[in-house]
């Protein structure tokens, strides 16, 4: 059976890596958020795509979750000395990827083709697609009335401003790249990674046509919350700022009516009944992925649970 996997950065990449150990490149492709993309030092940077790509290639920095393992930071340090903006801490090897991508984009090559080529050059066999080749930009409107491009909110301001609204500028004019569209259409199952629902998955769902495709698939989400907390990043903070109860039930409801099932942590097992009441089937297990072994174990359970739901809905 064929799986389309929706992912953001760090949380998404962990599960993607686990899934890739069970599913062949014919049976799995990843559609990645590009709402975080931005220009820095004249380079076109795709933080979430790179995180997924580096994780699959096994060259990710395991301490941060993003960037390249054992990278050096000479370029950024020297730029800092020269008085250039350096708030986005990017390594030297990582910059090589940004140079290549920016050169190819300037030559008119679509982002999806560039990613396919780069990912292959890094040794990856599973396809990774940007959610669209057209730019979609996530903006955060704060309680103070400021409008911030996503990376300014996330990296420069360490997601401290209170979020009032999240916008995906340009999404109306975006579309899935052709190959991503074909892969999604032909898959029976869709896995929504434990990425931030509001700023990593929602941008993908905002691309016209994506929700419609999901309507005909067996969709399973994995919770990014464990025991009412995020493992990393602002998901829980954003939820409370938007007036949403911080719970796995809220995550399940957020993905209604798209998902058939949700995978939650043993710490949240008291919410299974509430989730079932929403018409969503919960599956309880240990969903923290501190290492590749845990990624693989969870991925195997997610695959089995999804196939089981698919068979039940087809019966």
Which residue, 106 or 270, is less far from ligand GDP as judged by CB?
Answer: 270
What are residue 142's DSSP bridge partners?
163
**Residue 12 within binding range of ligand GDP, rule CB under 6 A:** yes
**Residue 8 within binding range of ligand GDP, rule CB under 6 A:** yes
Taking the C-alpha atoms of residue 92 and residue 76, their distance in angstroms, rounded to an integer, is: 8
In the complex, minimum distance from the CB of residue 216 to Ca ion, in angstroms, rounded to a whole number: 28
**Residue 37 within binding range of Ca ion, rule CB under 5 A:** no
What are residue 128's DSSP bridge partners?
30
In the complex, minimum distance from the CB of residue 266 to ligand GDP, in angstroms, rounded to a whole number: 12
**Residue 194 within binding range of ligand GDP, rule CB under 6 A:** yes
Residues 23-82 that bind ligand GDP (CB under 6 A): 48, 51
Which residue, 93 or 292, is less far from ligand GDP as judged by CB?
Answer: 292
Q: Residue 232's Cα: distance from chain center in Å?
A: 13
91 binds, among ligand GDP, Ca ion, none (CB under 5 to 8 A by kind): none
* Identified binder of ligand GDP from the candidate list 40, 288, 292, 300, rule CB under 6 A: 288
Concatenated DSSP letters of 92-145: HHHHHHHHHHHHHHHTT--HHHHHHHHHHHTT--SEEEES-SS--EEEEEETTS
* Identified binder of Ca ion from the candidate list 37, 48, 202, 265, rule CB under 5 A: 48
**Residue 234 within binding range of Ca ion, rule CB under 5 A:** no
Other CB atoms within a 10 A radius of the CB of residue 314 amount to 8
| Contact between 306 and 189 (Cβ < 8 Å) | yes
261 binds, among Ca ion, ligand GDP, none (CB under 5 to 8 A by kind): none
In the complex, minimum distance from the CB of residue 263 to Ca ion, in angstroms, rounded to a whole number: 21
Which residue, 130 or 194, is less far from ligand GDP as judged by CB?
Answer: 194
Tokens 């950024």 label which residue? 76
Which residue, 114 or 193, is less far from ligand GDP as judged by CB?
Answer: 193
**Residue 195 within binding range of ligand GDP, rule CB under 6 A:** yes
197 binds, among Ca ion, ligand GDP, none (CB under 5 to 8 A by kind): none
Which range in 30-38, 86-94, 123-131, 232-240 contacts Ca ion by CB under 5 A? Answer: 30-38
- Give SS3 for 179: helix
What totals of helices (H) and strands (E) does the chain contain, helices first? 13, 14
- Give SS3 for 283: strand
Taking the C-alpha atoms of residue 290 and residue 221, their distance in angstroms, rounded to an integer, is: 19
In the chain, DSSP assigns E strands to: 3-7, 28-32, 38-40, 43-45, 127-130, 137-142, 147-149, 163-169, 189-192, 218-222, 225-226, 229-230, 261-265, 281-285
Instruction: Give me the residues that bind Ca ion (CB under 5 A), please.
Output: 8-9, 36, 48
Instruction: Give me the residues that bind ligand GDP (CB under 6 A), please.
Output: 7-12, 14, 48, 51, 194-196, 200, 222-224, 226, 230-233, 235, 287-289
């Amino acid at each position: 059976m064929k799986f389309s996997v929706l992912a953001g950065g760090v949380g998404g990449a962990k599960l993607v890596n686990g899934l890739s150990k069970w599913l062949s490149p014919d049976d799995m492709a990843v559609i990645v958020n590009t709402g975080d993309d931005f220009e820095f030092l004249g380079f076109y940077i795709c933080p979430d795509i790179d995180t997924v790509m580096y994780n699959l290639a096994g060259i990710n920095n395991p301490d941060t979750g993003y960037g390249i393992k054992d990278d050096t930071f000479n370029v950024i340090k020297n730029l800092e000395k020269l008085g250039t903006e350096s708030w986005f801490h990017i390594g030297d090897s990582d910059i090589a990827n940004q140079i290549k991508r920016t050169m190819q984009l300037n030559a008119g090559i679509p982002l999806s083709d560039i990613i396919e080529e780069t990912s292959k050059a890094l040794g990856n066999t599973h396809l990774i697609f940007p959610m669209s080749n057209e730019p979609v930009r996530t903006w955060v409107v704060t309680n103070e009335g400021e409008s911030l491009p996503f990376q300014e909110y996330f990296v420069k301001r360490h997601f401290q401003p209170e979020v009032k609204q999240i916008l995906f500028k340009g999404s109306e004019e975006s579309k899935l790249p052709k190959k991503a569209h074909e892969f999604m259409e032909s898959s029976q199952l869709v896995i929504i990674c434990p990425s931030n629902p509001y700023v990593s998955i929602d941008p993908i769902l905002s691309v016209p046509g994506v929700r419609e495709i999901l309507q005909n698939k067996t969709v399973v989400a994995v919770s990014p919350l464990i025991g009412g907390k995020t493992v990393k990043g602002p998901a829980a903070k954003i939820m409370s700022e938007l007036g949403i109860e911080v719970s796995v039930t809220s995550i399940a409801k957020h993905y209604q009516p798209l998902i058939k099932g949700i995978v939650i942590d043993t710490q949240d097992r008291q919410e299974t009944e509430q989730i079932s009441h929403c018409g969503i089937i919960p599956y309880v297990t240990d969903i923290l992925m501190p290492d590749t072994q845990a990624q693989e174990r969870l991925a195997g359970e997610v695959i089995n649970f999804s196939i089981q739901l698919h068979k039940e809905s087809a019966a």
